[in-house]
Amino acid sequence: MTVMASFVHPNLADVSLAAALHALSDPVRLIMVAKLDLGHDLNCTAASPCEPVPKSTISNHFRILRNAGLVETKSAGREMINTLRRAQFDARFPGLLDSVLANRPA
Amino acid sequence: MTVMASFVHPNLADVSLAAALHALSDPVRLIMVAKLDLGHDLNCTAASPCEPVPKSTISNHFRILRNAGLVETKSAGREMINTLRRAQFDARFPGLLDSVLANRPA
């Protein structure tokens, strides 16, 4: 029997503005969100920054992003596929993610 | 001889997006910033949330806001006067503070 990892995805209505900003307030998570914004359905490696970051650190960043309603993670075979919950996040916090991503360093 | 408290105010160019978002990622600091956005030059009491928050906690929040380039603190007699560095912050992160404040709960 295979035990599948299951992930908790909150209702966006339950995510506070402070929690959303906290999830975005880290340089590595900002890179991950920007990558997910450009390319949908990325596995963990593709969504990670180029610099070497330990896998457990990336997992923790994904957990924080999921808890803030920013990312959905699904298991697909042996991979975990991550998608930005763009439409739902934008509906909850209009304009916020756009202005954050627009202010990322070039 | 009176020793005046002196406060460090960073150049906005040295504030990272992650640091700015971190400063804004706390419910008490969001209230403080919103109050400062409405009323200029507030002393610490006026800039604090209505709920009782210890003075040392408020001082710490002001320090985090100053370090992120959001607030300027000046001593005026026995008071500390706080001002939002709105124009400088907006020049560094265009549209960011507007979208954060617009998404605060009513």
Chain B positions in Cβ-Cβ contact with residue A18 (cut-off 8 Å) = 25-27, 30
| Cβ <8 Å between B25 and A21 | yes
Q: Which amino acid is at B37?
A: D
SS3 track for B25-54: CCHHHHHHHHHHHHCCCEEHHHHCCCCCCC
pLDDT at B70 over 90: yes
Task: Report the residue from B93, B99, B105 with minimal CB separation from A96.
Answer: B99
The pLDDT value given to residue B79: 85
| Cβ <8 Å between A25 and B30 | no
Q: What percent of chain B has pLDDT over 90?
A: 65
The pLDDT value given to residue A40: 73
- The pLDDT averaged over each successive group of 10 residues in chain A (106 residues) is 71 97 96 90 79 85 96 89 96 98 90
Task: Report the residue from B16, B24, B100 with minimal CB separation from A27.
Answer: B16
The pLDDT value given to residue A75: 87
The pLDDT value given to residue B32: 93
| Cβ <8 Å between A105 and B18 | no
Nearest to A101 by CA among A3, A39, A32: A32
Neighbour-count burial of B61, counting CB atoms closer than 10 A to its CB (0-12 exposed, 13-18 middle, 19+ buried): buried
pLDDT at B4 over 80: no
The pLDDT value given to residue B105: 84
Give the ipTM.
0.88
C-alpha B72 chain-centroid distance: 7
pLDDT: which is higher, B42 or B27: B27
Task: Report the residue from B17, B26, B102 with minimal CB separation from A95.
Answer: B102
Task: Report the residue from A17, A25, A26 with minimal CB separation from B103.
Answer: A17
Picking from A70-84, B10-24, B35-49, which range would have the lowest pLDDT averaged per residue? B35-49
The pLDDT value given to residue A5: 60
**Cβ–Cβ under 8 Å, residues B66 and A76:** no
The structural domains of chain A, ordered by start, are 28-102 (1.10.10.10)
| Cβ <8 Å between B27 and A21 | no
The pLDDT value given to residue A79: 85
What count of CB pairs under 8 Å joins A to B?
67
The two structure tokens encoding residue B59: 């001082």
Evaluated on CA atoms B27, B29, B32, B36, the torsion sign reads: negative
pLDDT at B1 over 90: no
Give the relative orientation of helices A17-24 and B17-24 as an angle to the nearest 10 degrees: 160
